[in-house]
Amino acid sequence: MSVSRRNFLGAAGGMTLASASAVSGRTAFASVPEAPIMKSAEMQPPLIPKTGPDYNPVVTLNGWTLPWRMNGEWKEFHLVAEPVLREFAPGMVGHLWGYNGQSPGPTIEAVEGDKVRLFVTNKLPEHTTIHWHGQLLPCGMDGVGGLTQPQIPVGKTFVYEFQLQKSGTFMYHPHADEMVQMAMGMMGFFVVHPKDPAFRRVDRDFVFLMAAYDIEPGTYVPRVAEMTDFNMWTWNTRVFPGIDHIVAAKGDKVRIRFGNLTMTNHPIHMHGYDFKVSCTDGGWVPEQAAWPEVTVDCAVGQMRAFDFVADKPGDWAIHCHKSHHTMNAMGHDVSNFIGVDKKKVSQKIKRLVPGYMPMGTAGMADMGEMEMPLPENTLPMMTGWAQFGAVEMGGMFSVVKVREGLAAGDYKDPGWYKHPEGTVAFEWKGEARKAERAPQPTIDPSTTTEVNVVKPRPNSKHGNH
């Protein structure tokens, strides 16, 4: 697909362009393709191919696809590694590193067999590289700083060239000071479509990357040395309720692809459906071997994709099934006060701290419903509302919205599902039945066995064991 300046600008409302000379600062790089920059965190329309092999483009949750240009037989892209400002959800932003104005960077889409040329300009305060995770390519294009290539110095542009050997679900990220650079948000999706347009084709194809951050309340920059105690669990560096909904028309065949660049695994669970795991970063799962699931685990550094037919209208939750990963700004040193009567002590505290509210005695659900003052640049642990009240979730949580009558290519939020009459759980108004204890089994004393426990003697040579 050849993309002109006009097509670039028309691809997404929040996109701006940086010229080759502005990026590199050198007229010698006049042949470098323009680098589109995206500022908006709204999901952008798919980039539909105009020429070349046909394919159904992906949609990136809260993201976009990087345009390219054709230069002879080469498909050329331009990534700019740079500091970015990313909104996690309304009310909180992070000062991160990413590509072309966002973290994660734009999704790269191409076709099996394409020759791709990827220009990478470094506008970070330190050197960097890019590793094309899962791609089969020449060793010198693999992007491991010091091992397979020199580091990309600050202000310089490097070029990667290789031919795409296989279709599938991949990603890109640095292999340079990666504890810092990936912890700061440097990552992006890379989708290679099959050469045969009919191969495993779907109607709607969604992608997101999982990342974790520790951004203390009132601060803006992640603590990059953290290994386990993260408080922001994100899809495409967004948290619920800031994560886009996954919208599909009834009858659509849908694919959801995701990758994991956090420090732990994520069991991704979708309500209302069973699905088939169709693809990993190693390649396509043969259709006869694709296995049914309702939850699929994605380990660190892995990519997974699953397919389903959207034949059940509704608002269906999709989320990580690790409960702490569906929370925002969560502190892990909080004492457990469930069952503790704090009435007397709270009265004393209120004399010293007017407006103090004791919480946690009956669980933490009240935190999702109360609007409490928060530190600057911090989200509530549980937030977001739907048609029946507070949705006590945060972090890695979104909604698959299946509706009848949606037009192809319509990804707008259709609002909350209108349940047919009599299909919503309801309060029982009839007579309450008295709880009864189940009958206990009778134990025959003659069948019991007496056990004598003997305390071991101290061993003078080795001591007790």
pLDDT one-digit tens code per residue, 5-29: 333 433 444 565 544 334 444 444 5
| Residue recorded with tokens 């700004």 | 329
Q: What is the mean pLDDT of each run of 10 residues along the chain (465 residues)?
A: 38 49 44 92 94 93 96 96 96 95 97 97 97 97 97 97 97 94 96 96 97 92 88 93 97 98 95 96 94 96 97 97 84 56 67 62 51 76 85 92 96 96 91 77 70 64 49
223, 351: one domain: no
Q: Is 317 exposed, middle or buried (0-12, 13-18, 19+ CB in 10 A)?
A: middle
Q: Are residues 313 and 349 located together in one domain of the fold?
A: no
205 and 303 co-located in one domain: yes
Q: Which two tokens stand for residue 3?
A: 């993309």
For residue 400, is it within any domain?
no
Asked whether residue 382 is domain-assigned, the answer is no
* Cβ-based neighbour number of residue 153 at 10 Å: 12
Residue type, 348: K
Q: What is the CATH number for 200?
A: 2.60.40.420
**Cβ count within 10 A of residue 121:** 25
By DSSP bridging, strand 115-122 and strand 74-89 are: parallel
Same domain as 211, residue 107: yes
Residue 144 in contact with residue 177, Cβ under 8 Å?
Answer: no
**H-type alpha helices, 65-175:** none
Place of tokens 């009435």: 343
Quick one: 20 and 52 in the same domain?
yes
For the record, the structure tokens of 365 come out as 């659900």
pTM for the predicted model, two decimal places: 0.82
Distance CA 193, CA 171 (A): 14
Burial of 163 (0-12, 13-18, 19+ CB in 10 A): middle
Question: Strands 253-260, 204-213: parallel, antiparallel or unpaired by DSSP?
Answer: parallel
Residue 247: give the domain boundaries. 5-319
Per-position DSSP letters for 162-187, written without gaps between them: EE--S-EEEEEE--SSHHHHHHTT--
Number of domains the chain contains: 2
Domain match, 209 and 341 both: no
The CA distance from 44 to 14, in Å, is 9
Same domain, 314 and 338: no
Instruction: Enter the tokens of residue 403.
Output: 């509706």
Does residue 120 sit in the same domain as residue 246?
Answer: yes
pLDDT at residue 217, as a whole number: 86
User: Within a domain: residue 179?
Assistant: yes
In a domain, 412, yes or no: no
Measured CA to CA, the distance from residue 218 to residue 375 in angstroms comes to 5
Residue 438 lies in a domain: no
Is the separation of the CB atoms in 272 and 285 below 8 Å?
no
Strands 275-280 and 283-284: antiparallel
Report the pLDDT value the prediction gives residue 438, as an integer from 0 to 100.
Answer: 74
| Whether residue 357 is found in the same domain as residue 303 | no
Distance CA 208, CA 64 (A): 11
Whole-angstrom Cα distance, residue 340 to residue 359?
A: 10
DSSP bridge partners of 97: 83
* 169 domain residue, yes or no: yes
User: Phi and psi of 11, rounded to 5°?
Assistant: -70, -30
Strands (E), 353-405: 383-386, 389-393, 397-403
Rounded (to 5) percent helix, strand, coil in the chain: 10, 35, 55
Considering the domain boundaries, does residue 407 fall inside one?
Answer: no
12 and 64 in contact (C-beta within 8 Å)? yes
Q: Provide the phi-psi class of 374: left if phi over 0, else alpha when psi is between -120 and 50, else beta.
A: beta
> Which tens digit of pLDDT belongs to each residue from 322-337?
988 888 876 555 555 5
Predicted local confidence at residue 443, as pLDDT: 73
Residues 93 and 159 both lie in one domain: yes
pLDDT score of 449: 64
Q: Is residue 10 a part of any domain in this protein?
A: yes
Query: Beta-carbon neighbour count of residue 97 at 10 Å?
Result: 27
Closest CA to 246 of 410, 415, 403, 399: 399
- Identify the CA nearest to 253 among candidates 207, 193, 311: 311
Comparing C-alpha atoms, which of 46, 44, 42 is closest to residue 55? 46
Task: Name the residue type at position 427.
Answer: E
Number of other residues whose CB lies within 10 A of the CB of residue 314? 18
Can you tell me the distance from the alpha carbon of 277 to that of 272, in angstroms, rounded to the nearest whole number?
16
Structure tokens at 310: 């959207």
